[in-house]
Homo-oligomer: A and B are copies of this chain.
């Protein structure tokens, strides 16, 4: 899984019919302190994550192992909202 920050939303009128009603959020990978790294990507949100939240995303076929994403053409899903991260005993991120 990747550690990522939710940075935005997407709106699409024309899409695969099976995606109707699915929320597609824009994320960017972060390091263990929540600092943004890398390019934006899009994942399905099943947990009502908010803009600014740090989350974990699962990719590939693993992204389809939820009721909301199964058998759908999506390759990334938010599967956890992070409360805090600890690295070598130091709290590196804490949800506000």
A62-B61 in contact (CB<8A) = yes
Alpha-carbon distance between A46 and B73 when the two chains are bound, in angstroms: 11
A79-96 interface bits toward B, Cβ cutoff 8 Å, 1 = contact, 0 = none: 111111111110010000
The minimal Cβ–Cβ distance linking A70 to chain B, given in whole angstroms, is 9
B62-A10 in contact (CB<8A) = no
Which chain B residues border A26 with CB–CB below 8 Å? 3, 32, 85, 87
Which chain B residues border A12 with CB–CB below 8 Å? 56, 80-83
Please list the residues of chain A having a beta carbon within 8 angstroms of any beta carbon in chain B: 1-3, 7-16, 18-19, 24, 26, 29, 31-32, 37-43, 46-49, 51-52, 56, 58-66, 69, 71-77, 79-89, 92
